[in-house]
Amino acid sequence: MNYIKALFKPKARSADIARERLKIILHHERRSIDSPLLEQLKEEIIKVITKFVEVDQTHIEINLKKGGDVEILDVTVPITNNPLQTH
């Protein structure tokens, strides 16, 4: 029934699209100004992963978290096309 839903979905106004795009890109850019090394790390991780699988770049999350005594690098990468076989 998705195609019927799509017919009735109002065409998004360009101003709303602009607003959403800006929110995403500025959220990303503001964080990268605070921690340039982390940004570099992110870029290299994404480069390596995209050699093997196709990913959704806009939803990649790479964060440093505190986990007890250690810091944890938490990496979440949504895969859109997975040629790696998992059983």
Q: Tell me how far apart the alpha carbons of residues 24 and 69 are, in angstroms, rounded to a whole number.
A: 32
Amino acid at 8: F
Under the binding rule (CB under 8 A), the answer on residue 24 touching another protein is no
Distances (CA, A) of 80 to 46, 50, 60: 14, 11, 12
Under the binding rule (CB under 8 A), the answer on residue 9 touching another protein is no
Stretch binding another protein (CB under 8 A), from 12-20, 39-47, 55-63, 77-85: 12-20
Under the binding rule (CB under 8 A), the answer on residue 74 touching another protein is no
> Rounded to the nearest 10 degrees, how much is the dihedral formed by the CA atoms of 36, 41, 45, 46?
0
Stretch binding another protein (CB under 8 A), from 1-9, 28-36, 48-56, 70-78: 28-36
Site size toward another protein, by CB under 8 A = 14
Closer CB to another protein, residue 16 or residue 69? 16
CB 53, CB 84: distance < 8 Å: yes
Under the binding rule (CB under 8 A), the answer on residue 33 touching another protein is yes
